[in-house]
A and B are shown apart, each in its own frame.
Chain A
Amino acid sequence: MTYAYVLRRTLANGFAELRNAYTVRTWLLGWMLRLAAQVTFFALVGRALHSADMTRYLAVGNAVVLACLESTIVVISVNDERAHGTFSLLIASPVGHVPVLLARGLHWVLTGMVSSTVALVTVPVLVGTPLPWGRLLAAIPLMWVVSFTSYAYGCTLCGLVLRHPQLDWLILNVGYLTVMTLGGVDVPVSFWPTWLSWVSDILPVTHGLMAVRAVLDGGPDVAGQLVRELAVGAGWLLVGVFSLRRFTDRGRRNGTIEFG
């Protein structure tokens, strides 16, 4: 009950900040257009190579990775807690900081679900490789799973950002660019040397994207990849919670938590 209400209020805060920054029009013309352009930018490479398969591969991969991109923006929202001076107040509250920080970027998960869906539906059409409707509808929920597993990954990044607040944008960018590079977004995981593909295995997106591609192409092992994606997400969530707790435990000891 308490946690549900904390979640609701944190989410309300998130959306209030979002509304303050964007109107529907500026969100569509500013943010959404940029994301769609990002997917198109990569898909056009396939066009330049005169390969419909490549175009579609890049369009799908880059649309799904948007879910990750937006979910990881949680690190900026959490870092804002420090900028606002509210971090110590959260720690000193009865519910504590962990539930709030875990919910702090959930609005990004929701907007990420919207933008990745819009991109997956529109960009393939735009670059001339439309996806079959039936399979597309089946693939979208899988992509939403990626939003959440990426969010768990983002929560781990939050642990890093709290320790190095001045590096917030750097951690965010390196965080999702790593996924974009190694997650099977532009080239299959098998392209990379073995040791790098191990990294791919524990990144969010990798398995979820394989599941999405399997659904779109009628490939096998959708359920297996989905389970792996969920396991990866659960793993990151555990690391994230541990890291947030450890941060405050240490902070209370060594006095690094700013007051006011």
Chain B
Amino acid sequence: MTDAVTVSALGRTFTGPGGQSYVALADVDLTVERGETHGLLGPNGAGKTTLVRVLSTVLLPSSGSARVLGHDVVREAKAVRRQIGIVFGGDRGLYGRVSARDNLLFWASLFGLGPRAAKRRASELLEELGLAERANQPVEQYSRGMKQRLHLARGLIGDPQVLFLDEPTVGMDPVAALEFRRIIRDLRATGRTIFLTTHDMAEAEAVCDRISLIDGGRLLLTERTERVGDLLAVGDRIDFTWTDPALIDELRVRADVATVTGHGDLPGRWRLVPADGSSVRDLMKVLLDGGVTTIEAAPPRLEEVYLTLVGSRGLEV
């Protein structure tokens, strides 16, 4: 079976008004399997949206190629368009003065659904996404969360195999964002391929099977979400709370300690990273012997991998 998305050596260069060119995507290789929920994670301006624009046939690549469900996005754009759905974050992409139902019926017509099929599909989706009660109200009266659910319904109208979500939870309050993530997980269960761009670490970790990190138009890594942490050369770290500087100084000169740094906003919170090959257990014992009681050891999370590879630009946790 063909993969959902195959991107090879994809590049996209823009030419600015002054004639200077700007590389938005450089030599990107990526494969997304069918049924996978794939997160594309990176700071603003990293090239996330450019990649989605190319994959959804709105933008032509400058070099390389991309296929969606085996169809080339340039030569077989029509075939691609029939099988994809696009979901934006934010307020754009909806007709504000028109009701949710009419929005959906309109888009249904563009996907080739006949009047009856369109009505059925629209009702189904409105019901499924909890919009049925207010389906006949103009969309401009909707809350941010409701609009986002309508966006999703719009993206699903043609029953797409591949769904592109471009920063879907931007500007949502935390409760609405959590709810939206739950919906995405439900969608994953239907076997669709979901390609999600985000700069929200927690969101990526919560819903994605695999994650790609992108920065400056280059793909830095692609890995299964739970294994992203393994990629850091330094495997583990120990967080602890302690106020006596003497112990900290003592730790810093030890051979089996790589670094001890202040951690978090509160004073007295420290993070110890063991030197290569040294034992976390031994070091924890040292801490306990020194009188430290609040200790926590864990492998690095996505956030740390991101910080290591991308830096703190555009970070949102």
Residue positions of A touching B, CB distance < 8 A: 1-2, 5-6, 8-10, 12-13, 16-17, 20-21, 84-86, 88-96, 100, 252-255, 257, 259-260
Contact = CB atoms under 8 A, between A and B. Distances in A.
B60 A6 contact: no
B31 interface: no
Chain A interface main SS type = helix
Interface of B: 12, 14-15, 24, 49-50, 52-53, 56-60, 78, 81-82, 84, 86, 88-99, 102, 105-115, 118, 138, 154, 158, 166-167
Nearest to B117: A5
Given A86-B95, A260-B88, A92 B57 contact: yes
Given A85-B88, A260-B88, A260-B166, A12 B102 contact: yes
B109 A9 contact: yes
A13 B14 contact: no
Contacts, number: 123
Contacts of A84: 92-96
B15 A13 contact: no
Contacts of A8: 109, 115
Chain B interface main SS type = mixed
A6 B118 CA distance: 11
A92 B95 contact: no
Contacts of B78: 94
Given A13-B102, A259-B166, A94 B158 contact: yes
Contact of B138 (A20, A86, A91, A100): A20
A2 B109 contact: yes
Contact of B110 (A21, A95, A259): A95
Given A12-B105, A20-B98, A94-B78, A257 B49 contact: no
Given A13-B102, A260-B49, A255 B14 contact: yes
Which residue of B24, B52, B88, B95 has the most chain A CB atoms within 10 A of its CB atom?
B95
A257 B86 CA distance: 15
Contacts of A5: 109, 113-115, 118
Nearest to B105: A9
B62 to A, nearest CB: 9
Contacts of A2: 109, 112, 114
